[in-house]
């Protein structure tokens, strides 16, 4: 028998009341953890976008939604594929590479996947018109992107760049995002039936941490045929050079394709950064709220608990527990409460983030173990702060004042 | 002399009206005494006992137990002193409801150093002494009133006190159980040489002591 055990036994005794005391702090922590898990991946994605894609331009049909760069082409309205030729023939300075895409959500077996039709580079560049325009053999210039070394050290490699410059792709071949490969249990060389036609895996792409991990890439022609959307595309990605963009490439493109939406990744990323900033602000506000509401509700719970245990505290004082020991016991209990609140909050928040992340941010969210520590710290500190006053008052109550008989 | 009080007074404030619960109480207790304190209800018996242990602050006067100044001592010193030298036995047993018999007995040892096993063995030996070894893992609610009081007595003994303060220890027990408890206290007084101060309003119980103090309206008769 020692103090710790005593605290624990008492704690177990009243565990049914805990919920009310811990509700506020647990929910508060959950919200913070949830927001944080989502915004971390979102921030990472933004960093990846900026690093890897530099000055990418996205041409979308007028009616499309551009909240999320990677998801912008999914289920977007379509526009004629002929737009690609228009861009090429207008001979604009600074257009390094073009990638028309057609994207739809489909089902493969029981899995939801995003099917994207792409035009491999060898076919684009072999078009006579393209050769004239001087695009032939122009390797993608990532010169305006920040250093490749940074990307590599971040482990991103140039997977997203590769996606834009898929050199060749047979009509019955397809590329597979890493998540969907795992879901469908497919590896290089495996085959699968998509919309009634059999395809062979050309390559499983490396994990990117974006929606691309859920995509299946097939040849654009094949996609148009299988989806029955001939000669239409949902987006055209343009690798442009930064300098050219600042020189007005965007407005020149708008002149060429007046009935489209043309945006740069920079603009989209900027909105994403805005959103992240807002999320962080919301987290901060929540932090302040839980410090108050959580602290007060724990303090209130502790005070009720102490009052209920007046008699017990009297007994402990009687057998020789001093006030300091009583304080310690109360704070130890607050500590345990803090641990429980922090852990449950972390679990709930992480679960919510993992579950809602793909919906809210279009990104797969992973649990962030380091947030456990932060959750615990916040929760413990709030719980201790909230319990200081009750503990102090508990030391001051005179158990024998109104109770001659203990 | 093990305990000495001098002009001990305790005044309660009841809705701004002062109530004199103890009025210049002075008496001595010698080592090995079994003192019984009698008096009508409201005569100040409990107030006296709690004041002696420093659980309520005396209004004036002196209390010395083994030369320890109870009235002046700090909370920390007083608590240590209580733990080491005073055992309590209360009418309502004062057991912690969520602790088993043996845990209750070990409770005063919770704040003292020592090995777990040693503490356990000591508590077990005391449960044996009060004949409750086979109930060691029962909660108070699973024990009869007499058994609960015996657990409380075992707890009072666990720190080998010099003094036991008992407030109507048989007040909640029927006569035959009362006799058991009183005999147990008598045995402890005789064999362990522990001084006992026992408050009772039963004249029969008062006969177990070797000295009687009678309180009337907070004064010694
Ligand atoms: N907390 C208190 N506030 C006011 N008066 C009290 C308080 N406790 C006890 N008293 C009064 O002090 C007197 C002595 O009480 P007590 O020591 O409990 O007597 P006994 O134990 O002999 O029955 C009684 O008149 C009682 O009403
Ligand atoms: Mg009384």
What pLDDT score does A398 carry? 74
| The domain boundary residue, chosen from A225, A258, A291 | A258
CA A227, A178, A363, A27 dihedral sign is positive
Which string of DSSP letters, residue by residue, matches A125-183? Answer: HHSHHHHHTT-TT-----TTSSPHHHHHHTT-TTHHHHHHT-----TTEEEE-HHHHHH
CA-CA-CA-CA dihedral for A200, A202, A204, A206, to nearest 10 = -160
Tell me the CA–centroid distance for residue B6 and ligand 2, in Å.
Answer: 21
Checking DSSP bridges between strand B219-220 and strand A235-240, what pairing results, if any? Answer: unpaired
What pLDDT score does A210 carry? 64
Angle formed by the axes of helices A18-53 and A295-308, nearest 10°: 160
ipTM reported for the complex, 2 dp: 0.93
* All structural domains of chain B with their residue ranges: 3-220
Q: Using one digit for the tens of pLDDT, what is the confidence trace for B114-168?
A: 899 999 999 999 999 999 999 999 999 999 999 999 999 999 999 999 999 999 9
What pLDDT score does B214 carry? 94
Class (C level, CATH) for B3-220: alpha beta
Are residues A39 and A115 located together in one domain of the fold?
no
Q: Using one digit for the tens of pLDDT, what is the confidence trace for B54-72?
A: 999 999 999 999 999 999 9
What long-range pairs does A223-226 form, CB within 8 A, spacing at least 24?
Answer: A223/A102, A223/A104, A223/A115, A223/A116, A223/A117, A224/A81, A224/A102, A224/A117, A226/A194, A226/A195, A226/A196, A226/A197
Beta-carbon pairs below 8 A across chains A and B:
85
Are residues A68 and A185 located together in one domain of the fold?
yes
Ligand nearest, relative to CA of residue B42: 1
pLDDT tier, B188 (very low <50, low <70, confident <90, very high otherwise): very high
Could you tell me if the CB of B5 is within 6 A of ligand 1? no
* Mean model confidence pLDDT for chain A: 78
Task: Say whether residue A402 is in contact with chain B using an 8 A CB cutoff.
Answer: no
Are residues A252 and A278 located together in one domain of the fold?
no
What pLDDT score does A128 carry? 44
What pLDDT score does A137 carry? 37
Q: Show the domain range for A176.
A: 63-258
Are residues A190 and A72 located together in one domain of the fold?
yes
Mean pLDDT of A317-337: 91
% of chain A with per-residue pLDDT over 90: 15
Is A246 within the bounds of a domain? Answer: yes
What pLDDT score does B90 carry? 92
Is A80 within the bounds of a domain? Answer: yes
What pLDDT score does A125 carry? 54
What pLDDT score does A53 carry? 52
Could you tell me if the CB of A404 is within 6 A of ligand 1? yes
- Say which residue, A127 or B164, is predicted with more confidence: B164
| Structure token digits, residue B193 | 């040489």
Mean pLDDT of B180-196: 93
Instruction: Say which residues have a Cβ less than 8 Å from residue B57's Cβ, sequence separation at least 6.
Output: B51, B71
Whole-number Cα distances in Å, A51 to A97, A160, A211, A271, A317 = 18, 10, 17, 16, 65
- pTM exceeding 0.80: no
What pLDDT score does A405 carry? 45
Q: Using one digit for the tens of pLDDT, what is the confidence trace for A255-292?
A: 888 888 888 766 766 777 777 788 888 888 888 888 88
Q: Using one digit for the tens of pLDDT, what is the confidence trace for A364-387?
A: 788 999 999 999 999 999 999 999
Nearest-Cα distance to chain A for B1, in Å, is 23
């Amino acid at each position: 028998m020692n103090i710790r055990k005593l605290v624990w036994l008492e704690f177990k005794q009243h565990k049914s009341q805990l919920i009310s005391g811990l509700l506020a702090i647990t929910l508060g922590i959950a919200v913070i953890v949830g927001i944080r898990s989502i915004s971390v991946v979102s921030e990472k994605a933004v960093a990846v976008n900026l690093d890897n894609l530099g000055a990418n331009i996205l041409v979308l049909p007028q009616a499309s939604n551009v909240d999320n760069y990677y998801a912008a082409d999914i289920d977007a309205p379509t526009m004629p594929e002929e737009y690609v030729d228009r861009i090429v023939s207008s001979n604009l300075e600074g257009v390094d590479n073009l990638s028309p895409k057609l994207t739809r959500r489909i089902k493969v077996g029981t899995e939801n996947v995003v099917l994207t039709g792409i035009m491999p580079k060898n076919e684009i560049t072999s078009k006579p018109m393209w050769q004239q325009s001087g695009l032939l053999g122009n390797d993608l210039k990532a010169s305006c992107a920040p250093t490749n070394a940074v990307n590599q050290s971040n482990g991103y490699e140039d997977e997203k760049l590769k996606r834009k410059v898929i050199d060749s792709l047979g009509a019955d071949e397809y590329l597979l995002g890493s998540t969907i490969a795992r879901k469908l249990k497919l590896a290089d060389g495996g085959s699968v039936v998509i919309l009634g036609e059999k395809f062979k895996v050309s390559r499983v792409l490396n994990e990117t941490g974006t929606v691309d991990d859920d995509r299946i890439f097939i040849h654009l022609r094949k996609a148009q045929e299988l989806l029955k959307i001939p000669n239409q595309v949902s987006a055209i990605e343009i690798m442009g050079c930064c300098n050219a963009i600042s020189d007005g490439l965007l407005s020149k493109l708008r002149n060429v394709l007046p009935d489209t939406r043309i945006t740069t990744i920079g603009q989209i990323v900027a909105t994403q950064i805005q959103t992240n900033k807002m999320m962080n602000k919301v987290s901060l506000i929540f932090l302040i709220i839980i410090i108050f509401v959580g602290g007060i509700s724990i303090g209130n719970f502790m005070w009720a608990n102490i009052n209920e245990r007046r008699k017990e505290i009297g007994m402990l004082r009687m057998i020789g527990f001093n006030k300091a020991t009583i304080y310690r016991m109360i704070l130890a209990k607050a500590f345990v409460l803090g641990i429980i609140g922090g852990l449950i909050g972390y679990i709930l928040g992480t679960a919510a983030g993992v579950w809602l992340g793909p919906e809210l941010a279009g990104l797969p969210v992973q649990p962030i173990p380091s947030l456990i520590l932060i959750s615990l710290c916040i929760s413990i500190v709030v719980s201790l702060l909230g319990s200081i006053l009750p503990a102090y008052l508990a030391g001051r109550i005179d158990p024998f004042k109104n109770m001659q008989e203990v | 002399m093990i305990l000495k009080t001098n002009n001990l007074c305790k005044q309660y404030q009841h809705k701004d009206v002062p109530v004199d619960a103890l009025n210049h109480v002075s008496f001595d207790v010698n080592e090995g005494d079994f003192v019984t304190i009698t008096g009508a209800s409201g005569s100040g018996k409990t107030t006296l006992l709690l004041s002696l242990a420093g659980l309520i602050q005396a209004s004036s006067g002196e209390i010395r137990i083994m030369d320890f100044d109870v009235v002046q001592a700090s909370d920390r010193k007083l608590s240590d002193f209580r733990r080491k030298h005073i055992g309590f036995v209360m009418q309502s047993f004062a057991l912690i409801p969520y602790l088993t018999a043996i845990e209750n007995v070990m409770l005063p040892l919770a704040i003292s150093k020592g090995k777990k096993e040693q503490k356990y063995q000591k508590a077990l030996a005391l449960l044996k002494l009060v004949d409750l070894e086979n109930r060691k893992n029962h909660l108070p609610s699973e024990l009869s009133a007499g058994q609960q009081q015996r657990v409380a007595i075992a707890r009072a003994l666990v720190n080998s006190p010099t003094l036991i303060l008992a407030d109507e220890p048989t007040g909640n027990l029927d006569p035959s159980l009362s006799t058991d408890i009183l005999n147990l206290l008598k045995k402890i007084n005789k064999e362990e040489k522990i001084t006992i101060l026992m408050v009772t309003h039963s004249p029969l119980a008062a006969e177990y002591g070797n000295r009687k103090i009678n309180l009337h309206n907070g004064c010694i008769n």
